[in-house]
Structures are given as structure tokens and as C-alpha cells.
Amino acid sequence: MNIIDNFIAPACEEFVRILYQDDVILLISKPAGLLSLSGKNPLNRDSVHSRLVQGQLGISPPFSQAKLPHRLDFGTSGIMVVGLTQQATSHLNKQFQAGTVQKRYTAILEGWVSADAGVITAAIAKDKSQFPRVKICSSTGKAASSEFSVLKRLTEPRRSLVQFTPVSGRTHQLRIHSFTMGHPILGCDLYHSASSQQLADRLLLHASDLYFEHPLTGERHHGYCVSPF
């Protein structure tokens, strides 16, 4: 039995907020500490998707046809796009698969990142010995790049408020790339230093922006969700 089988998500009392709605899509704000999709364990039924289709905890009315063309990790907060029709979901799925959806994230990292901006390029592979962790591996990993810019350097203790634009979309990409450059994201339970996990009571990673083609109009659409930190 692996760590995923043993994981029971704590109850999340925060609402899923609707940021934008029309006939074919929703833009929503996912709180940290909520699964995107329900788990196999009956105790992990609460999720973004289950709340959407059942109209629970602030979502009213139910969106019975709602589908998620992408996910955010359990600990990550921020913006998600939801398809409300089969055609819209298919259109969005193709955009994510083609890599034409641009995402931006805000994070707080341990320490002061010395460069004001840059690109982290390091191939990522599954770490079979420490699932669900991933690892940096140039021989077996898939190419991955993350652009970053430092928005602010904070003190007591030293931290960096950073904006990330992932060029690729690998599992745990921003978390492992931050850790690899010596500045783990605060609150991260998988990739951390001796102190970084204890410096925050949640993973300080937030999906702030989505740029995609609207499935109905074909126009470029920008969704934004303000960061809580």
C-alpha cells in the first residue's frame, strides 16, 4: 500500500468560488486543502468536481455536466477552468494537450533568490522508490522548464515572493524546480529543507492566471484569481 492509498484529506470548509460564468465554461477559485477530483477512498469524496456536480458548500445550483480539463494539486489554491458542455470540455482538453494554455503561479520560496528573473531547466522523472515524489534525472526524465521572476524579497525570515510561468506541465514541476535551485516553496511536504515546511501552514503555491481560447467565441480569454498571500 502506498502513501496515496493511506492519505485521508482533512475536511475543507472553504468554499469553491465562481469567478466567471457563461453558457459553456466556469472559472473557479479552488481553496488549498481540497482535492480536484474525488479519491477512490470513500473518505476522500469531497472535491472540486463533487461540489460542482452536487451543488455543495457554496456552489449553487449544481452543474451536473461539469468536467475538469485540468487539475491543481491538493495543497495548491487558485484558478481552474471548468467545461459545462461536452464540446467545451473537448475543446479545452485539446488546448491543454497541445500546450497552448498559459498558466502563471505565485509562490513564496525559502531564502532570497539571487537572480531577479530566470529559467529553471531540469528534466523530471518519476521516483519509483519514493512515490508520489518525482526527481530530477537527465537520463530518464522528461524535459521541463519554468520561468520565474522575483516580485519581492521578504525579511524575518528571508523569503522570496516569486511569479512562475511553467513552459511545460510536469507533475510537481514548480515544487521540484524550486527545491532544485535551493529555494523550496514554503509549506511543501514533499520537497523541503530542514525548516521550509514549518514556515507555513499550507503550501504557498497559488495559480493566479490562465490564458486560453474560449471554446465558444475562439477569442483569447484571461482568467485571474488574486493570491491570498
| pLDDT digit string, tens, across residues 73-93 | 999 999 999 999 999 999 999
Where are the alpha helices (H) located in 10-110, listed in sequence order? 48-54, 86-98
pLDDT at site 79: 98
Q: Quick one: pLDDT at residue 99? A: 95
Q: Is the pLDDT of residue 5 over 60?
A: no
pLDDT band at 60 (very low <50, low <70, confident <90, very high): confident
Choose the catalytic residue: 22, 73, 127, 201: 73
The percent of residues above 90 in pLDDT, for the chain, comes to: 93
Bridge partners of 209? 104, 224
Residues 6+ apart with CB under 8 A from 207: 30, 72, 76, 77, 78, 79, 80, 103, 104, 105, 225
Full-prediction pTM beyond 0.75?
A: yes
Segment 100-121 mean pLDDT? 98
pLDDT at position 96? 97
Segment 170-186 mean pLDDT: 98
What's the distance, Cα to Cα, between the start and end of the chain in Å?
Answer: 36
Strands (E), the chain: 17-21, 25-30, 77-83, 102-110, 117-121, 124-126, 134-136, 145-154, 159-166, 205-213, 220-224
Whether the pLDDT of residue 159 is over 60: the answer is yes
Average pLDDT value for residue range 122-142:
95
Fold match, 3-100 / 105-205: yes
Q: How many CB atoms lie within 10 A of CB 160?
A: 21
- DSSP single-letter state for residue 16: P
**Residue range 45-54, pLDDT digits in tens:** 999 999 999 9
Domain boundaries, the chain: 3-100, 105-205
- β-bridge mates for residue 17, sequence order: 29
CATH class of this structure's domain 105-205: alpha beta
pLDDT at residue number 4: 52
Cβ atoms of residues 166 and 105 within 8 Å: yes
22 classed as catalytic? no
For the segment 189-201, the average pLDDT, to the nearest whole number, is 98
pLDDT tier, 1 (very low <50, low <70, confident <90, very high otherwise): very low
Per-residue pLDDT band for 7 (boundaries 50, 70, 90) equals: confident
The highest-level CATH class for domain 3-100 is alpha beta
Give me the pLDDT at residue 2, please: 45
CB 135 within 8 A of CB 125: yes
